[in-house]
């Protein structure tokens, strides 16, 4: 455990790095930085810090005391948050006031991350001083890899300065292992346990780029490893060298379920509209007996192949699960041969499940055919409220036929056996 002198040296270093971060990120590309703008207010005196601890009956970790005394406290962000990860670090006084019900339990609120997540500091127990990410909706807490508040804070500054956190779609800060490319490889080469190696491999994902030599190492790991280590190495390789990763993705698609799931994820994330070579392997995984989640994952991945993939889903149009039917109809709607599936669309409009009807109406965008008018009319009568968004989608389709509203469409079609003839005359008049 570092002593106060070492914490003081680190705090002075943090002050310098905070200036560097502010200077390199003038456009506030780092998530949350536009709120706090890298500003920390005046530090607190040690007397003020001790008075605060006495007043609330708590004992702060030594490094946080030094931080508050040398670096600063609070700022101009939301609820007085100062410079820090995500939406910043709250003023120490606000941290207690905003989460008093947590303080007595040994947790001090630090700041907000967006959505339902916050970062907090443990004040009691064997992990005192450790930063933890909490989800207000009850998800499992995430312990960051750093063991002290200042290590966590300094890592944030390092990753802002290096560009890791300024890159588009940067990973959530500190959910992976910290360190540079060289530091991570040194850790990997000295680690003996596979779970440690997997954690280190995941750490590469946060980086902006990898050297060619690192991609060669990842290729070697992917060749000789199995299980989670192979999945992690292929995932990292796909981010930084997609061409080199392609044969390993093919291998994963022909392996066990965990490998297939990993391959599907990588294709959707890294090979959007550029996955044509895997179409055959992907469609081989389709089966009526698969789970809904597996079916959807495969569906969305096949959609990224850039192929005319509707024909692969025809066999699922009669599936007992309405989700299978709805997604299969959606696939037909994306086909260049959309009109050849007109009978399937008519069946979809007559389906007893609202999800399928909704999907069919959306799939019919741009498909103008006289044979759809009667099923449209039937849909307009079956759904009198729009809780399933059926009517709003029906109205979108009818506008493509020249109708302004569903009511107008119904008036023309409402009466007598010749309603279709009148509608067709209306339609042909619009087309002319």
Task: Kindly list the averaged pLDDT for each block of 10 residues, start to end, along the chain of length 432.
Answer: 86 97 97 96 96 88 96 92 95 68 69 89 90 86 94 97 93 91 96 94 95 97 95 97 95 93 92 85 90 93 84 94 96 92 96 97 94 94 92 96 92 64 55 51
383 dihedral zone (left: phi>0; alpha: psi -120 to 50; beta): beta
126/124 Cα distance (integer angstroms): 7
Residue matched to tokens 């930063």 = 131
Domain that holds residue 75: 4-162
308/228 Cα distance (integer angstroms): 33
C-alpha to C-alpha distances, 58 to 69, 283, 414, nearest whole angstrom: 17, 60, 75
pLDDT in the model for residue 96: 61
Structure tokens at 128: 């005192």
Long-range contacts from 47-56, C-beta under 8 angstroms, 24+ separation: 49/92, 52/92, 52/93, 52/96, 56/96, 56/103
**Strand, helix or coil at 107?**
strand
pLDDT in the model for residue 218: 97
- Asked if residue 202 is part of any domain, the answer here is no
53/249 Cα distance (integer angstroms): 55
Whether the Cβ atoms of residue 174 and residue 146 lie closer than 8 Å to each other: yes
For residue 100, give the CATH number of its domain. 3.40.1580.10
Buried/exposed 31-54: b ≥16 CB within 10 Å, e otherwise: bbbebbbbbbeebbeeeebeebee
Count: domains in the chain: 1
Residue matched to tokens 């006289």 = 370
346/52 Cα distance (integer angstroms): 71
361/97 Cα distance (integer angstroms): 52
pLDDT in the model for residue 100: 44
Beta-carbon contacts of 98 under 8 Å, excluding residues fewer than 6 positions away, are: 79, 90, 109
* Strand ranges for 136-230 from DSSP E: 142-143
91/97 Cα distance (integer angstroms): 10
Long-range contacts from 361-366, C-beta under 8 angstroms, 24+ separation: 361/390, 361/393, 361/394, 361/396, 361/397, 362/330, 362/333, 362/393, 363/329, 363/330, 363/332, 363/333, 363/334, 363/338, 364/333, 364/397, 365/333, 365/396, 365/397, 365/400, 366/338, 366/400
Whether the Cβ atoms of residue 169 and residue 206 lie closer than 8 Å to each other: no
What strand order describes the sheet that includes 107-114? 107-114, 117-122, 131-135, 142-143
- Cα dihedral 349/352/355/360 (nearest 10): -10
Output the DSSP codes for 148-160: SHHHHHHHHHHHH
- Asked if residue 257 is part of any domain, the answer here is no
Which of 395, 372, 392, 391 is closest to 382 using CA atoms? Answer: 391
Which of 85, 111, 69 is closest to 18 using CA atoms? Answer: 85
Q: What is the DSSP letter of 44?
A: P
Whether the Cβ atoms of residue 166 and residue 30 lie closer than 8 Å to each other: yes
Q: How many CB atoms lie under 10 A from the CB of residue 196?
A: 14
284/286 Cα distance (integer angstroms): 5
Long-range contacts from 328-332, C-beta under 8 angstroms, 24+ separation: 329/356, 329/359, 329/360, 329/363, 330/359, 330/362, 330/363, 331/299, 331/303, 332/363
pLDDT in the model for residue 101: 45
In this structure, the chain runs to a length of 432
Q: Is the dihedral of CA 254, 257, 258, 261 positive or negative?
A: positive
- Asked if residue 89 is part of any domain, the answer here is yes
Burial of 256 (C-beta count, 10 Å sphere; 0-12/13-18/19+)? exposed
Residue matched to tokens 């109205």 = 395
């Amino acid at each position: 455990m570092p002593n106060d002198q070492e914490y003081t040296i680190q705090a002075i270093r943090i002050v310098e790095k905070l200036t560097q971060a502010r200077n390199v990120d003038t456009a506030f590309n780092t998530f949350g930085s536009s709120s706090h703008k890298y500003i920390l207010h005046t530090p607190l005196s040690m007397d003020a810090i001790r008075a605060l601890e006495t007043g609330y009956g708590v004992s702060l970790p030594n490094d946080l005391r030094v931080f508050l005394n040398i670096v600063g406290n609070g700022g101009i962000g939301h609820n007085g948050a100062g410079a820090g990860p995500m939406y910043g670090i709250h003023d120490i006084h606000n941290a207690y006031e905003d989460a008093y019900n947590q303080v007595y339990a040994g947790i001090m609120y630090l700041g907000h991350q967006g959505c339902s997540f916050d970062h907090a500091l443990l004040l009691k127990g064997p992990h005192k001083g450790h930063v933890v990410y909490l989800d207000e909706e009850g998800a499992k807490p995430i312990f960051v890899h750093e063991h002290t508040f200042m290590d966590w804070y300094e890592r944030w500054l390092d990753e802002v300065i290096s560009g890791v956190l300024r890159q588009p779609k940067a990973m959530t800060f500190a959910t992976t292992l910290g360190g540079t490319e060289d530091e991570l490889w040194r850790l990997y080469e000295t680690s003996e346990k596979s779970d440690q190696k997997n954690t280190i491999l995941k750490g590469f994902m946060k980086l902006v780029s990898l050297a060619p030599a690192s991609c060669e190492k990842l290729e070697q790991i992917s060749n000789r490893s199995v299980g989670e280590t192979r999945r992690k190495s292929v995932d990292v390789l796909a981010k930084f060298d997609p061409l080199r990763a392609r044969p390993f993705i093919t291998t994963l698609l022909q392996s066990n379920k965990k490998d297939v799931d990993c391959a599907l994820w990588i294709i959707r994330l890294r090979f959007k509209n550029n996955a044509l070579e895997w179409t055959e392997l992907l469609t081989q995984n389709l089966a009526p007996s698969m789970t809904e989640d597996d079916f959807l994952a495969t569906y969305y991945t096949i959609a990224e192949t850039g192929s005319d993939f509707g024909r692969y889903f025809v066999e699922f149009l009669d599936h007992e699960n309405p989700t299978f039917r709805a997604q299969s109809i959606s696939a037909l709607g994306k086909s260049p041969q959309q009109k050849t599936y007109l009978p399937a669309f008519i069946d979809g409009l007559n389906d007893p499940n609202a999800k399928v009807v909704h999907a069919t109406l959306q799939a019919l965008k741009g498909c103008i055919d006289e044979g759809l008018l009667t099923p449209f009319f039937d849909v307009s009568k079956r759904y009198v409220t729009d809780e399933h968004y059926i009517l709003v989608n029906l109205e979108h389709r009818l506008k493509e036929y020249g109708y302004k509203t569903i009511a107008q469409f119904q008036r023309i079609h409402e009466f007598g056996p010749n309603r279709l003839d009148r509608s067709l005359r209306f339609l042909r008049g619009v087309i002319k």
